[in-house]
Structure 1
């Protein structure tokens, strides 16, 4: 049995199904991220785990104990929200101490534990300040310290970094990973940001319409999406349509025909000859023929400078669009309307189960 087992969890709001039979197991000490678009059910699941949302059916089991109907205050879980919810009239030290005082810890034990948490999050020099005197990142550290101070069995984080700017968000991602590593607490993190999920997680659960569509490591999710939704949502993938001819054993895609790769399984990936495929942007190269690669012609329709790289959007001979990622310098000669030769390795083309 896993540390946390979520079994057939269902929650509706009138005719809206927020959770549709969710099954998920979480190991102790794991950092797992619930990833999906707004309204996909990830926050409803987090709030169900916390005890603030009561499921209509199913159960939540922690270390063999059913906590489905247990009150939130009895679960010993830490919570960090997007808005931090710090007490504005209390100092940093008193904000962190508050959960221990509610639990009636002895003053000396409170003082020792708070000092340890201040050291852990690097806020010892700011302990006497009020929240309004802190930056967003510092406030986030206070919220994390307050949630961790009583050694919760789980730390539940609901999009806590979404209000921060990009640079600070990346810094806090590293901080969260460090805190996870140093405390050993199980983290369950909610986000709609794919890069954020990749950067921090041991595993990712991808949500769509109240269901978990795929669970796996960040690399597995990125390299082996199981559905058209996952392939499109996680970013970096170009979705394409193809046709399979069983008589010739060939695929028609990107305006040409090629022998079906070994990892293409007709019984799994084709329905009446229709095939859904994907190619990662970084796997498409510019240039003509090359051994081991299939070449195809495209027309440039857009360029977007994004720093060290440039995003080049092209149209294929079949009328579909692909996004290529090129080093900024290499894209200098590319102009809108230009015809380009591209190439891709057949083993870099992924295939999805039929819709």
Structure 2
């Protein structure tokens, strides 16, 4: 599955003019304020772009609403307060009207790293909430998951990222993730760097 986009967006004095055509696991590095979040929000449909297009697997989704694009975006704040972990994990699948097997949670239990299914999500640590949000997205089986800086607070990050990517590949889910840690690019097929609103291909 290919993700192809040209995103032109002006926000105040900031000008984003970035292009991408990649598939698989994509890492975007860059400093705070370089445009990473604006780019992901544009791909997900939460920001209307001034010019350009967004295509997923050669289908133009530029005019589609976020819920119809087959994308999910995750930030460190992407959780639903008040829900127990078990309800949270299946929330995305229910919204997308996807049949889910509760036994699937058993297969991916290691991603939760001992978090109780009966715990309320807003009582968890930041890293634990990120684990729950990412697994919630996987169980919703979108075409693309966009993760914005949400690997950074997770303990045992290397195992978690590698396992997450393994599960996404098995479910044919593409991943674009942003990070300020250049070492995280080791997990990706492609590495791009955002600089002043432009994407530069590293590998």
Give TM class, smaller chain. Answer: 0.7 to 0.9
Structure having the higher helix fraction is 2
SS in 2 for 1:128: coil
Runs of 4+ in 1 over 4 A off after TM superposition: none
Q: Judging changes above 3 Å, is the alpha-carbon distance between structure 1 residues 188 and 149 closer, same or farther for their aligned structure 2 residues?
A: same
TM-score (norm 2): 0.87
Alignment partner, residue 202 of structure 1: 189
Higher relative CO (Cα under 8 Å, sequence separation at least 6) belongs to 2
Q: Please, what is the CA RMSD of the aligned residues?
A: 2.1
Alignment partner, residue 223 of structure 1: none
Alignment partner, residue 202 of structure 2: 215
Aligned with 1:188 (options 152, 155, 176) = 176
CA contact (8 A) 1:121 1:141 kept: no
**What is the Cα deviation at residue 133 of structure 1?**
4.7
- Determine the C-alpha separation between the residues in 2 that align with 1:68 and 1:117: 33
1:5 aligns with 2:1: no
- Determine the C-alpha separation between the residues in 1 that align with 2:134 and 2:106: 10
1:229-286 deviation per Cα after TM superposition (whole angstroms, max 9, x unaligned): xxxxxxxxxxxxxxxxxxxxxxxxxxxxxxxxxxxxxxxxxxxxxxxxxxxxxxxxxx
SS in 1 for 2:103: helix
Q: Judging changes above 3 Å, is the alpha-carbon distance between structure 1 residues 133 and 13 closer, same or farther for their aligned structure 2 residues?
A: closer
Taking the TM superposition and a 5 Å limit, the aligned residue runs for 1:117-156 are 117-122=105-110, 123=112, 126-156=116-146
Aligned with 2:104 (options 83, 100, 116) = 116
TM-score (norm 1): 0.52
Q: Can you give the 5+ residue segments of structure 1 that lack an aligned partner in the other structure?
A: 217-355
Taking the TM superposition and a 5 Å limit, the aligned residue runs for 1:17-56 are 17=15, 19-20=16-17, 22-27=18-23, 30-56=24-50
SS in 1 for 2:199: strand
- Determine the C-alpha separation between the residues in 2 that align with 1:15 and 1:134: 37
CA contact (8 A) 2:74 2:147 kept: yes
Q: Can you give the 5+ residue segments of structure 2 that lack an aligned partner in the other structure?
A: none
Work out which of the two has the higher radius of gyration on C-alpha atoms and give 1 or 2: 1
Alignment partner, residue 174 of structure 1: 159
Structure having the higher strand fraction is 1
Q: Judging changes above 3 Å, is the alpha-carbon distance between structure 1 residues 16 and 103 closer, same or farther for their aligned structure 2 residues?
A: closer
CA contact (8 A) 1:137 1:172 kept: no
Alignment partner, residue 101 of structure 1: 94
SS in 2 for 1:173: helix
Equivalent residue pairs, number: 198
- Determine the C-alpha separation between the residues in 2 that align with 1:115 and 1:136: 26
